Amino acid sequence: MQFTYLGRTGLSVSRLCLGTMNFGPLTSEADAHAIMDAAHEFGINFFDTANAYGLRSAGVSGLGEGRGATESIIGRWFAQGGGRRERTVLATKVYSPMGEWPNEGKLSALNIRRALDASLARLQTDYIDLYQFHHVDRATPWDEIWQAIDVAITAGKILYVGSSNFAGWHIAQAQAAAAQHGLVGLVSEQPIYNLITREVELEVLPAARHYGVGILPWSPLQSGLLGGVLRKQREGLRRLEGRAAHTLEAKRPQIEAYEDFAAELGHEPGDVALAWLLHQPAVTAPIVGPRTRQHLDDAVGALDVRLDEKALTRLDEIFPGYRAAPEHFAW
């Protein structure tokens, strides 16, 4: 396994982060525990979850018990001992509503306090390594947010703070407010980022690099569209619906060219997509969210893929990206 530092911190994390969103709704607890054991065997020490994970999506027949179920699955895995908690850099999130009463969501000081304690109880641990704001809260002032975080850090309940789905100016705003409180501020940002969805290159990535914030891309395969979807459709192994099906039809020529190029390189399309992210200078670790052990095995193969400048240029030709603002649209 390859390791790097999380943003500007001295915290060493694996170049792949294990995403757990499927644990509960789509992956049974026994299988989830086996996947986490396998992740440690591969050397993956960085796990990502959220307090809201575990709720079944509408129309999906799954196994989840509701919000919080995924954290509980991880907590019962930690409780087995054997160094599981000690070897894991644990990241979870706060923001999504956990109930229908006021103050059961977002980033008020009250919700941060209650949600953090609830996550600690479900995860069966006394601290969170990386506590992430799942979304920007436009109603709560940053002074209130950072004061609540300062209390939690002082109490030893969290070590580092990150964000998810922030705009570039949100990162700048958060860092300015944190500096006023004498805090380190954000050390990571978790955006959607992959070969198809590259808008964060405009302002989020430049802001992250400026402030020393590590990027943890979610949906690195764009809901499977970069994982060899056309070949799997031909083989009868994959059927898409909804937004993914619409995106596939809109970008079919590009995806066809991409799968052909991956074959030319001699690699699986999913490995190329992950390897491309690992070649981006702002990226700390893509988040891979396996439903099965085989999915995890497949993802680890990306670490052995090396893309030279010619290959990176070709991928940019297939899926054009963005230059940093304002040069992308002005001088």
Please tell me which residue in 5, 53, 193, 322 is annotated as part of the active site. Answer: 53
Q: Closest by alpha carbon to 288, among 231, 224, 240?
A: 224
Instruction: Give the span between the Cα atoms of 89 and 16, in whole angstroms.
Output: 12
pTM for this structure?
0.94
Residue 58 confidence (pLDDT) above 70: no
Each residue of 215-252: pLDDT tens digit? 999 999 998 999 998 888 787 666 666 677 788 888 89
pLDDT in the model for residue 65? 63
Beta bridge partners of 5: 12
C-alpha 282, offset from chain centre: 14
Please report, for residues 199, 203, 205, 207, 331, the alpha-carbon distance to residue 325 in angstroms, rounded to integers and kept in the order given. 11, 6, 10, 10, 9
Tell me the pLDDT band of 270, cut-offs 50, 70 and 90.
very high
Asked whether 302 and 265 are in contact (CB, 8 A), the reply is no
pLDDT in the model for residue 241? 64
**Concatenated DSSP letters for 2-70?**
-EEESTTSS-EEESSEEE-TTBTTTB-HHHHHHHHHHHHHHT--EEE--TTTTPPPTT------STTHH
pLDDT in the model for residue 234? 81
Instruction: Give the span between the Cα atoms of 91 and 24, in whole angstroms.
Output: 17
pLDDT in the model for residue 56? 67
Residue type, 155: A
Give the number of other CB atoms < 10 A from CB of residue 149.
24
Angle at 165 between CA 163 and CA 168, to 5 degrees: 80
Is residue 53 part of the annotated active site? The answer reads yes
